[in-house]
């Protein structure tokens, strides 16, 4: 794998495979791992880096280079014990961000105590949506409205601070329409476009999908 940001996905069930495939399709380097050889063989047709391994074995993780991975997604919701071990070993190896698929609130609490940086529930967060959020640096959230259009919550870039939406002319320069400004739990749809932006704000925007990559 090259020097760009790298990902690993543990568990290639429907959710884990969706995450791995979406990341791969968007140009990310993804190491996909499952203990079931038949599942690995099937996924290998689409995922270029696909390995059969026991993610509860620290030596196996070392050999796979997990210590050099930036973000690990643990999608083994049906096996609590294996998930706990995987989180602990990833953190022991120095993985910066560990995301865990959880099956319940108790599951989430356990994973967070073990060191998980983020937890997700399949009923609230599809694998594809998670992958898009991981890929979208600067995007707090990204939701598809249609095949061509997405609604996104965008962080205020450092170079935008102190300038207004009018100053930046975001619609003309980036082909993105700002529809609201969020600050904490408050969302203002009747905002003043001349007000200077600051880092505590989030911009709610609508954009054609082809323009999102340009904005990144």
- 159-211 per-position pLDDT tens digit: 999 999 999 887 888 778 888 888 876 778 788 999 999 989 988 877 776 66
Query: How many other C-beta atoms are found inside a 10 Å radius of the C-beta of residue 77?
Result: 20
113 and 193: one domain?
no
35 and 102: one domain?
yes
pLDDT of 3 > 60? The answer is no
User: Domain residues for 99?
Assistant: 6-135
φ/ψ of 111, rounded to 5, equals -65, -40
31 and 130: one domain?
yes
31 and 131: one domain?
yes
Within a domain: residue 19? yes
Within a domain: residue 123? yes
**Whole-structure pTM value:** 0.62
Residue 62 to residue 66: CA distance in whole angstroms: 6
Residue 148, both tokens: 């061509």
81 and 28: one domain?
yes
53 and 68: one domain?
yes
Q: In what order do the strands lie in the sheet with 139-144?
A: 139-144, 149-155, 201-208, 176-183, 186-188
pLDDT of 129 > 80? The answer is no
Cα separations in angstroms, 153 against 147, 169, 200: 18, 18, 13
Within a domain: residue 1? no
123 and 176: one domain?
no
pLDDT band at 131 (very low <50, low <70, confident <90, very high): low
Q: How many domains does the structure of the chain reveal? A: 2
């Amino acid at each position: 794998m090259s020097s760009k940001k790298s990902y690993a996905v543990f568990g290639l069930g429907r959710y884990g495979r969706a995450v791995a495939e979406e990341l791969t399709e968007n140009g990310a380097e993804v190491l996909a791992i499952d203990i079931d050889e038949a599942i690995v063989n099937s996924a290998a047709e689409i995922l270029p880096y696909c390995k059969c391994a026991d993610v509860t074995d620290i030596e196996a993780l070392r050999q796979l280079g997990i210590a050099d991975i930036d973000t690990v997604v643990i999608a083994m919701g049906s096996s609590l014990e294996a998930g706990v071990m995987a989180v602990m070993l990833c953190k022991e190896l120095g993985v910066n961000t560990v995301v865990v698929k959880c099956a319940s609130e108790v599951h989430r609490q356990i994973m967070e105590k073990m060191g998980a940086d983020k937890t997700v529930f399949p009923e609230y967060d599809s694998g594809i949506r998670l992958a898009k959020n991981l890929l979208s640096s600067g995007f707090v959230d990204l939701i598809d409205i249609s095949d061509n259009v997405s609604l996104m919550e965008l962080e205020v870039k450092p170079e935008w601070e102190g300038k207004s939406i009018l100053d930046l002319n975001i619609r003309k320069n980036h082909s993105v329409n700002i529809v609201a400004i969020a600050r904490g739990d408050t969302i203002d749809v009747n905002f003043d476009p001349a007000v200077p932006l600051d880092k505590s704000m989030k911009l709610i925007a609508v954009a054609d999908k082809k323009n999102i990559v340009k904005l990144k």
